Amino acid sequence: MLNCHKTGLFAGAFLAAVALSPASPAGERKGRPWTFEDILLVPEVNELALSANGRFAIYAVEAADAETKRTRAQVRIVNIGAREQRSIASAAIARSFRNIPGTEDWSALLDIGEGLQLYRVSIDGKISTVVSNRKLVSVGKADHSVPMGGGTPPHQIGILAYDWSPDGQWLWYSQLRAKPDQPLVRFDEAVTGLRSRRRSTIEAEVDFFLRAPDGSIDRVITRPTSDRMAMHAGGKVIWRDDEILFRTEAPDGTPGSVFETRAWNRRQKSIRIVSNERDARTLTMLRGPRGGALSTTGIGGALELIESGPGEEPHRYGRFPFTISDSNYAATRDGRKTIVGTRNLGTSRYGLALVEETRVREVTGTGSLTKCSFDSRIHLAICVEEGISTPPRLVRVDLARGAIEPIVTVSPRHEEIMPLQVRAETWTNRNGYKAAGYILYPRDFRPDTRYPAIVITHGFDADDRFAKAENQWNYPAQLFAERGYIVLLINDPLPYQSADLRAAYSAWSRGSGPPDPETVRQLIWIEGVNSLVDAVNDLATEGLIDPARVGIAGYSRGAQMVNVAVTRTEIFSAASSGDGGFLEPSGYAGWPASYDPVYGGPPMSEHFEQYRRFAPSLNARKVCTPVLQQVAAASPSQAELFDALRAAKVPTQLTYYPGASPASDETHIFHIPSNRMLAMRENMAWFDYWLLGKRDADAPFPERLAMWDRMAENGKPRCGANESAP
What is the Cα–Cα distance from 423 to 688, expressed in whole angstroms? 24
Better-predicted residue by pLDDT, 312 or 243: 243
Asked whether the predicted pLDDT for residue 27 surpasses 60, the reply is: no
The per-residue pLDDT for 724 is: 38
The tens digit of pLDDT for each residue in 76-120 reads 999 999 999 999 999 999 999 999 999 999 999 999 999 999 999
Do residues 654 and 635 touch, judged by C-beta distance below 8 A?
Answer: no
- Band of the pLDDT at 42, cuts 50, 70, 90? very high
SS3 84: strand
Across-strand partners of 248? Answer: 260
The per-residue pLDDT for 425 is: 95
> Angle at CA 204, nearest 5°, toward 200 and 206?
150
* Mean pLDDT, range 498-512, rounded to an integer: 94
DSSP code at position 717: P
* Mean pLDDT, range 613-641, rounded to an integer: 94
Residues in the chain: 726
- Band of the pLDDT at 188, cuts 50, 70, 90? low
Pick from 483, 484, 545, 554: which is nearest to 525 by CA?
Answer: 554
The tens digit of pLDDT for each residue in 381-422 reads 999 999 999 999 999 999 988 899 999 999 999 999 999 999
| Domain parsing of the chain, residue ranges | 283-368+377-407, 419-714
Pick from 578, 342, 582, 562: which is nearest to 464 by CA?
Answer: 342
The per-residue pLDDT for 276 is: 82
Across-strand partners of 486? Answer: 453
The per-residue pLDDT for 15 is: 33
DSSP code at position 162: E
* Mean pLDDT, range 210-231, rounded to an integer: 95
CB atoms inside a 10 Å sphere around CB 333: 12
* Mean pLDDT, range 287-305, rounded to an integer: 92
Query: What is the sign, positive or negative, of the torsion defined by CA atoms of 320, 321, 326, 327?
Result: negative
> Angle at CA 720, nearest 5°, toward 719 and 724?
110
* Mean pLDDT, range 259-274, rounded to an integer: 94
Asked whether the predicted pLDDT for residue 374 surpasses 70, the reply is: yes
Q: Which residues contact 170 (CB under 8 A, 6 or more apart)?
A: 164, 210, 211, 212, 213, 239, 266
SS3 371: strand
Please give the class, per CATH, of domain 419-714: alpha beta
The per-residue pLDDT for 634 is: 78
SS3 86: strand
* Mean pLDDT, range 613-634, rounded to an integer: 95
* Mean pLDDT, range 10-21, rounded to an integer: 34
**Mean pLDDT lowest among 197-206, 323-332, 424-433:** 197-206
What is the Cα–Cα distance from 192 to 204, expressed in whole angstroms? 19
Three-state secondary structure string covering 288-351: CCCCCEEEEECCCCCEEEEEECCCCCCEEEEEECEEEEEEEEEECCCCCEEEEEEEECCCCCEE
Pick from 332, 329, 317, 404: which is nearest to 373 by CA?
Answer: 329
Better-predicted residue by pLDDT, 188 or 142: 142
* Mean pLDDT, range 507-521, rounded to an integer: 94
The per-residue pLDDT for 454 is: 98
Asked whether the predicted pLDDT for residue 548 surpasses 90, the reply is: yes
What is the Cα–Cα distance from 277 to 259, expressed in whole angstroms? 5
Percent pLDDT > 70 in the chain is: 91
Do residues 690 and 626 touch, judged by C-beta distance below 8 A?
Answer: yes
> Angle at CA 716, nearest 5°, toward 714 and 719?
140
- By DSSP bridging, strand 106-111 and strand 116-121 are antiparallel
- Band of the pLDDT at 196, cuts 50, 70, 90? low
> Angle at CA 323, nearest 5°, toward 322 and 326?
130
Q: Which residues contact 583 (CB under 8 A, 6 or more apart)?
A: 525, 560, 563, 564, 598, 614, 615, 616, 637
DSSP code at position 239: E
The per-residue pLDDT for 190 is: 67
| Residue spans of alpha helices (H) in 543-607 | 557-568, 592-599
- Band of the pLDDT at 183, cuts 50, 70, 90? low
- Band of the pLDDT at 475, cuts 50, 70, 90? very high
DSSP code at position 287: B
| Residue spans of alpha helices (H) in 367-498 | 412-415, 469-472, 477-482
What is the Cα–Cα distance from 629 to 558, expressed in whole angstroms? 12
